[in-house]
């Protein structure tokens, strides 16, 4: 934690800056507070915006984790496990407050002539907007930050997607400039502030998020794999480029889940789907990443909880006889970064983009993605190479399938919001993946209900009730 002291100071500004800078969003205007920073600066807005991009990744990751069966409730009929209607007003608000902060950063950057800050603001707005779009579809954006309009219209979901993509293209233009009059402040940048190539890494991140948006169109007539590959060619080249946020008030929020579990709150139970994909049961090969994701049970085994069924008999137990999120994991330890987008994920995007035209390149990218993710999980070189050599994994270019690409990407995006987009694009066809027990829907969940907070504040513009089984436009 010592190495994060100077960044922790920035995080301390979050509570006041969030309220200060969000006065120009479509939320109720707040009265002046003498305890707040009177005038936001580029550096303070950068600190709060980069903090929130990581925190929102956690918020949305925790929302979708049961849907992709990374985690499961220890109680039968758990609301998230069984796709029940849940009010995510707090999540919605967090995403819009984050965009409002970044929008203020963008306006100030334009006023002060800083291409670097403007580019970063565009990246952050695009990311948060994409999260809104992926969860709900139609959403306010074109009118969302007009202080004189507290009831903005909802843009159509495809328009929201297009706006997010345009923001990334705008960011790429700005971040490609090398003559910014005001450079990014490293001590305020909680994503890449410790990098010696801060601007260049944000540029790579913009391309990474663009590739992610473009691959999302894989089921549509607009899908252009060549455009995906072009974006990837300008993006990450190693794990060192990964975008993550590791500044916390106390610890990584996933580590908080693990800590609370030890205090009998019983959260963060890992799903049978995830555990069986790793322990050799589903695929016939033991995946050493399981040792870096969770701890063995008191019975010296790896076993998960069935979504919707609750914990196993005798039930209501606290004996640690099923697997949980672990604070010992490099993914969910106290100081582990919240990973927004990684090199490993991009290699699987590359494998998918090449799949129909060049199986050799697709296979090479697939194996590189596994290797990179193993390294990120700090798997030993021997265990990594043994897994990569297993004929179940390394099937050769001609035998490579999209099922294998999506299976490995599912592991690599553990707890990341992007996992739900992949599950929907793949129609939940992971091997042995089944709907939850006691499912409240007739099939898999595809979207969230609009939150009650929005209905109360902007009800005239909120779309009519849409079934949670209704596919988003890119999922048709």
Contact between 261 and 267 under an 8 Å Cβ cutoff? The reply is: yes
Longest dimension (CA), the chain: 66
> Quick one: CATH architecture of 2-251+336-475?
Alpha Horseshoe (1.25)
* Adjacent-strand bridge partners of 341: 243
Contact between 117 and 46 under an 8 Å Cβ cutoff? The reply is: yes
Question: 107-110: long-range contacts at Cβ-Cβ below 8 A with a sequence spacing of 24 or more?
Answer: 108/40, 108/41, 108/42, 108/45, 109/42, 109/182
Q: CA dihedral defined by 444, 446, 450, 452, rounded to 10 degrees?
A: 30
The helix/strand/coil state of 405 is helix
The Cβ of residue 31 has, within 10 Å, a number of other Cβ atoms equal to: 6
Extract the runs of DSSP E, i.e. beta strands, from 59-136.
71-72
Contact between 137 and 219 under an 8 Å Cβ cutoff? The reply is: no
Distance CA 400, CA 367 (A): 11
Q: Determine which helix (DSSP H) or strand (DSSP E) holds 388, and give its type and residue range.
A: helix 381-389
Distance CA 371, CA 418 (A): 20
Q: What's the predicted TM-score (pTM) here?
A: 0.92
Backbone angles phi, psi at 413, to 5 degrees: -100, 25
Q: What is the pLDDT along the chain (476 residues), one digit of tens a residue?
A: 333 323 333 333 333 333 333 333 333 323 344 344 557 899 999 999 999 999 999 999 999 999 999 999 999 999 999 999 999 999 999 999 999 999 999 999 999 999 999 999 999 999 999 999 999 999 999 999 998 999 999 999 999 999 999 999 999 999 999 999 999 999 999 999 999 999 999 999 999 999 999 999 999 999 999 999 999 999 999 999 999 999 999 999 999 999 988 877 778 999 999 999 999 999 999 999 999 999 999 899 999 999 999 988 776 666 788 999 999 999 999 999 999 999 999 999 999 999 999 999 999 999 999 999 999 999 999 999 999 999 999 999 999 999 999 999 999 999 999 999 999 999 999 999 999 999 999 999 999 999 999 999 999 999 998 999 999 999 99
Q: Write down the domain spans for the chain.
A: 2-251+336-475
């Amino acid at each position: 934690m010592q190495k994060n002291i100077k960044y922790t100071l920035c995080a301390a500004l979050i509570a006041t800056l969030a309220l200060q800078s969000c006065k120009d969003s479509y939320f109720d205007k707040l009265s002046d507070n003498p305890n707040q920073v009177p005038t936001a600066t580029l550096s303070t807005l950068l600190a709060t915006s980069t903090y929130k991009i990581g925190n929102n990744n956690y918020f949305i990751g925790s929302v979708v984790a049961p849907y992709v069966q990374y985690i499961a409730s220890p109680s039968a009929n758990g609301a998230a496990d069984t796709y029940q209607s849940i009010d995510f007003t707090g999540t919605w608000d967090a995403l819009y407050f984050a965009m409002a902060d970044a929008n203020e950063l963008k306006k100030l950057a334009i006023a002060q002539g800083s291409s670097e800050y403007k580019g970063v603001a565009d990246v952050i707005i695009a990311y948060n907007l994409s999260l809104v779009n992926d969860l709900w579809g139609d959403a306010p954006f074109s009118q969302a930050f007009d202080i004189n309009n507290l009831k903005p219209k909802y843009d159509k979901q495809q328009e929201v997607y297009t706006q997010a993509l345009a923001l990334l293209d705008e960011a790429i233009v700005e971040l490609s400039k090398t003559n910014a009059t005001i450079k990014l402040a490293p001590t305020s940048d909680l994503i890449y502030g410790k990098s010696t190539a801060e601007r260049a890494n944000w540029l790579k991140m913009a391309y990474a998020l663009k590739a992610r948006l473009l691959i999302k169109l894989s089921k549509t007539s607009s899908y252009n794999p060549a455009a995906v590959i072009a974006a990837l060619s300008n993006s990450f080249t190693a794990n060192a480029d990964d975008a993550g946020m590791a500044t916390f008030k106390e610890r990584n929020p996933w580590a908080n889940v693990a800590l609370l579990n030890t205090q009998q709150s019983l959260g963060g139970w890992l799903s049978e789907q995830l555990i069986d994909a790793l322990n050799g049961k589903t695929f016939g090969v033991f995946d050493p990443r399981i040792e870096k994701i969770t701890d063995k049970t008191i019975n010296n085994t790896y076993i998960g909880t069935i979504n919707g069924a609750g914990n196993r008999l005798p039930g209501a137990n606290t004996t640690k006889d099923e697997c949980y999120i672990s604070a010992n994991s490099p993914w969910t330890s106290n100081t582990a970064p919240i990973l927004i987008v990684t090199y490993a994920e991009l290699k699987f995007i590359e494998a998918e983009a090449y799949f129909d035209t060049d199986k050799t390149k697709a296979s090479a990218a697939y194996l590189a993605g596994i290797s990179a993710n193993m390294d990120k999980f700090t798997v030993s070189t021997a265990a990594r190479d043994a897994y990569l050599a297993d004929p179940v994994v390394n099937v050769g270019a001609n035998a490579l399938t999209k099922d294998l690409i999506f299976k490995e990407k599912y592991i690599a995006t553990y707890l990341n919001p992007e996992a739900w987009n992949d599950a929907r694009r793949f129609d939940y066809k992971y091997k042995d993946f089944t709907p939850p027990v006691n499912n409240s829907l007739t099939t898999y969940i595809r979207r969230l209900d609009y939150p009650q907070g929005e209905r109360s504040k902007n009800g005239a513009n909120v779309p009519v009730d849409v079934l949670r089984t209704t596919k988003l436009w890119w999922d048709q």
